[in-house]
Amino acid sequence: MAVYTEVSDEALADFLAAYDIGGAISFKGIAEGVENSNYLLLTTAGQYVLTLYEKRVDPADLPYYLGLMTHLAAHGLTCPLPVAARDGALSRTLCGRPAAVQTFLPGVWPRRVRNEHCGAVGTALATLHAAGEGFALTRANALGPSGWRPLYARCAGRADEVRPGLGGEIEAALEAILGAWPEGLPKGHIHADLFPDNVFFLGDRLSGLIDFYFACTDLYAYDVAVCLNAWCFEPDASFNVTKAKLLLGGYTARRPFTAAERAALPTLAAGAALRFLLTRLHDWLHHPPGAFVTPKDPLEYARKLRFHRAARSERDYGLD
């Protein structure tokens, strides 16, 4: 369920009057997504997506998100393009929420990840990193290493309710990963959440990337590590080194890793697994009754974290 704020016909008409995209023909809620209210909007000018930003998105971050998408689209990445109102604004207020109109991106996300998807994702991620160069705004990664201890502190007393011993495992991982976290690696604008449901395909061709609302300024190789976690594990929690090799090959063909990035890959991958373990654990333990969205299993990422902490070098990920 991804419609938290209902929009009346009258409110929609008033909102669209500020744009040059014609009048509404149809307007339908989009069921996927968990953070915001999304609507598929068909007007006399074409097809769009209207997003109302809910409480977890800080309105102060919208110039970064929408500006970055505009910059990326202008520099070779296929992604939704924010549509400016007549006054040049990329966001306005609708039903008491900040809202934006974006172009519609055709395609579907892969419900079952195949090997050929992974190489295309690696290539697209390298394209994103290159396209982001020159975008002047920055945004700190609130869910990066500096945020992990405070996030865990809100869960520490109840972690063992999810699985006995989980708290101790997380504390040991925090100590080891933060102690080994690399400094001085190449950084820039990253997606930070490039899971399969944020990548669209038309047949076997990658048609674009969506959902930039965790984007931030951080290590490029950390963004790759997020993708290794999202794309290269099988449902039984086994790591598929063939998928990893294809993903990394697609990425490094466009943007080769530095020696320091290669050496740091196990730590970065463990950190990415820890980040999603902590956010899932927090949502699992603090899930309000009657909420629209079912929280995701944190133990999936506990299993992935164990794999990465046992890895000894980039060779465990298929890098020769």
Residue pair 204/75 in contact (Cβ under 8 Å)? The answer is: no
- pLDDT at residue number 291: 55
- pLDDT at residue number 54: 87
Residue pair 314/265 in contact (Cβ under 8 Å)? The answer is: yes
Q: Does residue 288 have a pLDDT over 80?
A: no
Confidence band, pLDDT 50/70/90 cuts, at residue 131: very high
Q: Nearest to residue 240, comparing CAs of 304, 166, 150, 191?
A: 304
Q: Do domains 9-103 and 115-317 have the same CATH topology?
A: no
> Residues with Cβ < 8 Å from 36, sequence gap 6 or more?
2, 4, 51, 52, 53, 54, 57, 213
pLDDT in tens, 207-250: 999 999 999 999 999 999 999 999 999 999 999 999 999 999 99
Fold held by 115-317: Aminoglycoside 3'-phosphotransferase; Chain: A, domain 2 (3.90.1200)
pLDDT in tens, 264-281: 999 999 999 999 999 999
Confidence band, pLDDT 50/70/90 cuts, at residue 293: low
Q: How large a percentage of the chain has pLDDT more than 90?
A: 90
Q: Quick one: average pLDDT of 285-297?
A: 75
Q: How far apart are CA 206 and CA 124, in angstroms?
A: 8
Q: Does residue 1 have a pLDDT over 50?
A: no
Q: How far apart are CA 97 and CA 67, in angstroms?
A: 19
What are the boundaries of each domain within the chain? 9-103, 115-317
Residue pair 37/99 in contact (Cβ under 8 Å)? The answer is: no
Q: Nearest to residue 196, comparing CAs of 6, 13, 32?
A: 32
Residue pair 50/38 in contact (Cβ under 8 Å)? The answer is: yes
User: Reduced to 3 states, what is the DSSP secondary structure of residue 315?
Assistant: helix
- pLDDT at residue number 9: 94
Report the DSSP beta bridge partners of residue 205: 202
Fold held by 9-103: Phosphorylase Kinase; domain 1 (3.30.200)
Q: Quick one: average pLDDT of 86-112?
A: 96
> Residues with Cβ < 8 Å from 248, sequence gap 6 or more?
122, 224, 228, 317, 318, 319
Q: How far apart are CA 164 and CA 158, in angstroms?
A: 10
pLDDT in tens, 57-86: 899 999 999 999 999 999 999 999 999 999
